[in-house]
Amino acid sequence: MSQARPVYNFNNIIVRTPSTTVVNGLRADDRGNPTYEGVKAEHDTYIAAMKDAGVKVTVLPALEAFPDSIFVEDPALVFTEGAILLRPGAATRVKETIEIEPTLRAMFETVLDLPGTGLADGGDVLTTRESVMIGLSARTDKVGAEALQACLDKLGRKSEIVATPEGVLHFKTDCSLLDEETVLSTARLAKSGVFDRFKQVIIPEGEEPAANALRVNDVVMVGSDFPRTIEMLDKLGYKVVPMKTTEIGKIDAGLSCMSLRWFSNTL
C-alpha cells in the first residue's frame, strides 16, 4: 500500500440527506431535540464546504425509518483499497448497513462484510499514516474490533485496538487527525497515552466536543461553537473552516460522522 498521499487527502465522499425523524436521534446527553430545519441547514453547509475543499459529493436519499442514518460513517468504512460493511453497536442502527450496501458495491470493487457477531462503529475508527486505530467503546466491542482488524488486513491496512475513555460515545468523539504527525485530542484521551507517538494539540477545557474536527485536504473543519479551539488552530497555522454544529451536536454528533471519505484513483 502506498503511503505517499496524506491520509486526509480525499476526492470522494458519501453523505445522506437527514430524515425528518432525525429529531428523534440517539443521544447520551439530552440537551433537547434538534430541529429538522436546523439539521438540514447544517448538513447543506457541510456539503458546500466539502465541495469547496475539492471533493466530489454523492448524496444519498433520506431514510425516514432510521433517525440516525445521516451519520453514514458508523455503518461502513471506506478506503482507496475498498469498503467494509460494519455492524453498528446501537440496535436501532444495525439495518443501516443493508441500506448503504448497494451504493458501496456499485462504487467499490472490493466490499468486505464484518465477520462474526461482534459490533463495530465507524465513529470508533481513526485512520493515521501508521495504522488504523480502533477504539473500544459502548458501540464497538473487542470481538467486533478484532473482526475489523481481519478485514483491514485483507485491504493491506495495519491496525491497532485502543481504549476509549469511560463515558465517551466514540473514540473520535475525543480526537481527530490534524496532519500526518499531529492529533487534536481532549485532555482525558491524551492522558491514556494512545497518542504518545504523535504531536498532540489539546482541546481547551470546556470545548471538548471540538475534538471531533475534520481534516479534508487543505482545510480543518471545526465546530463554530468553539472559538478558543478555532483561535488555537489558526495560530498553529491550520486553515480552519468553522462549521455550525449546534443542532447536530444535540444528538451526540460531530463532523466526521456525516460522511464517508476516500481517495479514488479512478476519479
- β-partners of residue 241 are 221
Over residues 124-160, the pLDDT tens digits come to: 999 999 999 999 999 999 999 999 999 999 999 999 9
pLDDT value of position 44: 98
- Which amino acid, one-letter code, is at 172? K
pTM: 0.95
Q: How many CA atoms lie within 13 A of 73 on its CB side?
A: 23
pLDDT at residue 3 tops 60: no
Q: Containing H/E element for 100?
A: helix 96-107
Positions marked active-site: 170, 257
Q: Are 223 and 245 in contact (CB under 8 A)?
A: yes
Indicate whether 27 pLDDT > 90: no
Which residues, in sequence order, are bridge partners of residue 112? 84
Locate the domains of the chain by residue range.
12-262
Categorize the per-residue pLDDT at 20 as very low, low, confident or very high, splitting at 50, 70 and 90: very high
**pLDDT score for 216:** 98
Domain 12-262 fold is L-arginine/glycine Amidinotransferase; Chain A (3.75.10)
The rounded mean pLDDT for the chain is: 95
- When pLDDT is averaged across residues 211-229 and rounded to a whole number, the result is 98
What is the pLDDT averaged over residues 56-74? 97
